[in-house]
Structure 1
């Protein structure tokens, strides 16, 4: 039993609330109670007390869209448009290097970065699904493992059916692991056929699986869909029956008012990736309009190859600022709402909001502490605003996942930091050598 006693407790639910002189009681992996600190001490005199005198305690951040293994391609091909970046650089590099070891090592590196920045759960999408799961399990990290599905062959699979088969096999292999679950992740409307989307829908219904897909990321995607199918991608997916409350639509940069209404009608969640959208010149999503329509919007980083950080604090600030500029409304996405996007909204998108995303009795103890004593977060009038607009990830002091402290004051307890970094350096040398051979 533990008493965690911060200066400021930010439960997220109820929204915009900040409690002082309060503590939470954690028993193993579960939050038992939230109560005044004096009452906690009298009710639980034998509990270990963790004092956080200059800290805010809040639920761990949830990265609603990323490609963790691509951390090994961070900085490999920068300052390029999406399709040039993919076709000329990323896909050839993946063809040459992606393997079980590449994915396990890259995912572990990403998890190391995410934990240190206060992220306790991510919604992944990549290949070698079992390697992703092994990295998450061995690191004590919570993850939704999106199993990529495409029509064309890669070193991992030969066609859509083989991607699907491998996805279901990996799901069965890790069925008993409490911190990981699997989703089906058809890559995008421009890489997946109607027939494959129909198969994915049937399997998702049969096994109650979440769906994860890049949709409306660029204007070119929409233009090409109009040429090939006669409709925009979202209209095509709606006709196929792909839209629903189990879908996380990544990016959704280019949306009309009727499309926003369609997303709201079907309860689709959006993974907003502000930094990646800007870096690849994809555009700026209409997040404020989406939220006004009642759409659940979480925040993602995309992969480190197109960001180049996996940093939810940075994404929150950028998401809030971009929304104000895009909507010409300074009230758009206030600090408390940006925090919701990075916590409870991500949990809702991943269908985990009964377990994580807010500090409530009965939920899992996925928690982070942020030390707000630094000069750039002083003076402090409002901890919500300070976290979103001024704090950075170096101020994350403690991270708990399912009640286990996995990080404290720069030290990782659930993974081997030095070995993880050494493996990343070896991959950099291997990839650089291979690139020089082909130039």
Structure 2
């Protein structure tokens, strides 16, 4: 592998905290970072290196999308402005029953990956069906993907019951063992769609196979009311009694938490995937993120699916997370810019168990990097690049993206994906889904 030197205006490594390097170079050899040092020192130490000048750019770790349903990009705008259960029961689940297949998931995941890469996301924690198709889409693009294998009790076009979902999850995991860009988690959908017995089996398998668990928890007040009616306790208490919180767990949403529950989440080391835009769009509520972070909980940021957001834009999510925390807490110091950036990078890596590989720019880590051009009028003048990345920059200012040292996006052009083919397949699915709606109406 040839050595590459990147020469940005600023390097924001995330670790050490509150650090911005100027006149520095980042040096890559193959898939790893081998040096972060003064520009002149790097040029002298590696005279044969390939040099990339980034004169008005901030270089930072790739963003980690901690909760998404990638293939659902093909349902973007399909059913808007509805509460969660109506959205699911009357629109999303019926459409998925008609159309979700290996081909649908591959094509939808490719569309999502193209959007995420162009927006500076280099890693995603997914949750959906047809797991092998998600893995193939990620590997084809050179994208880092954690594949959450959805598990439910009821039948879908993908599986007939919980045992079938689990069996297919394990088969896909075995198929891709050894792939460095692809990892798997067990993803029970939610407390209201998974039984105690199935949760028990998931906990056992996670322990035996050293797998994490990814689950929607406390997303809405209806979910909590339903649990109180059926089980006599709130969902988190039920899951704690079952032992789920003793496994490595990423809890998506966690919008509604009491002080007691926040203390329990802290004690158990549960990670939270905060999805501010989706929570607002579905009117799920305002998560107590400032309190959760203050209690020591690791909170990352996710987009949720494009069907409920409607975009996979981590720059927008960072800004919204910071602003909502200030408004919800009444504290303008809640989630300052540096912390929002940590949530979108380092905290996601911690939640995925990949702190040693991604989430910060450190020697020895994978070279998952993004360059953001801050020369635009909307990000000038620039007194503080960290502040601008969170409060002013747009995802369209991402110019270059490297994943494991490979340039997957160069000067705003995809290097590993064929956008024409992706756009053609997207139009095919749009026509097919619209035809399905028309035939159902008849």
Q: TM-score range by the shorter chain?
A: over 0.9
Residues 207-250 of structure 1: CA deviation (Å, up to 9, x unaligned): 00010000000000000100000000000000111014611000
Cα distance in structure 2, aligned partners of 1:158 and 1:208 = 26
SS in structure 2 opposite 1:166?
helix
- Counterpart position of 1:59: 61
Q: How much does 1:117 deviate? A: 0.1
Cα distance in structure 2, aligned partners of 1:43 and 1:132 = 41
- Preserved CA contact (<8 Å) 2:206 2:247: no
Residues 149-183 of structure 1: CA deviation (Å, up to 9, x unaligned): 00000010000000000000000001121100100
221 and 360 in structure 1: CA distance in 2 versus 1, 3 angstrom threshold: same
Cα distance in structure 1, aligned partners of 2:72 and 2:272 = 21
Residues 97-146 of structure 1: CA deviation (Å, up to 9, x unaligned): 00000000000000000000000000000000011111011111000000
Alignment partner of 1:325 out of 324, 327, 336: 327
SS in structure 1 opposite 2:35?
strand
Residue 299 (structure 2) pairs with residue 297 (structure 1): yes
- Preserved CA contact (<8 Å) 2:321 2:340: yes
How does the TM-score come out when normalised to structure 2?
Answer: 0.99
- Counterpart position of 1:122: 124
Alignment partner of 1:185 out of 164, 184, 187: 187
SS in structure 1 opposite 2:245?
coil
SS in structure 1 opposite 2:53?
strand
- Preserved CA contact (<8 Å) 1:75 1:308: yes
Cα distance in structure 1, aligned partners of 2:342 and 2:299 = 9
**How do 1:87-102 and structure 2 match up within 5 A?**
87-102=89-104
Alignment partner of 2:150 out of 145, 148, 155: 148
- Counterpart position of 1:113: 115
Alignment partner of 1:306 out of 308, 324, 338: 308
Cα distance in structure 1, aligned partners of 2:416 and 2:332 = 41
- Counterpart position of 2:272: 270
Alignment partner of 1:134 out of 136, 147, 167: 136
Residues 362-411 of structure 1: CA deviation (Å, up to 9, x unaligned): 00000000000000000111000011000001100000000000001221
- Counterpart position of 1:256: 258
- Preserved CA contact (<8 Å) 2:207 2:247: no
Residues 266-308 of structure 1: CA deviation (Å, up to 9, x unaligned): 0000000000000000001000000000000000000000000
Cα distance in structure 2, aligned partners of 1:324 and 1:15 = 21
How does the TM-score come out when normalised to structure 1?
Answer: 1.00
SS in structure 1 opposite 2:37?
strand
Moved segments of 4+, more than 6 Å = none
Cα distance in structure 1, aligned partners of 2:395 and 2:373 = 10
**How do 1:20-99 and structure 2 match up within 5 A?**
20-99=22-101
Q: How much does 1:415 deviate? A: 1.1
- Counterpart position of 1:162: 164
Cα distance in structure 2, aligned partners of 1:56 and 1:245 = 37
- Preserved CA contact (<8 Å) 2:141 2:417: yes
- Preserved CA contact (<8 Å) 1:149 1:185: yes
- Counterpart position of 1:280: 282
- Counterpart position of 2:402: 400
Alignment partner of 1:226 out of 228, 242, 267: 228
- Counterpart position of 2:429: 427
Cα distance in structure 2, aligned partners of 1:350 and 1:80 = 31
SS in structure 2 opposite 1:243?
helix
Q: Which runs of 5+ in 2 are unaligned?
A: none
Cα distance in structure 2, aligned partners of 1:182 and 1:95 = 24
Q: Report how many residues are paired.
A: 439
Q: Give the CA RMSD over aligned residues.
A: 0.6
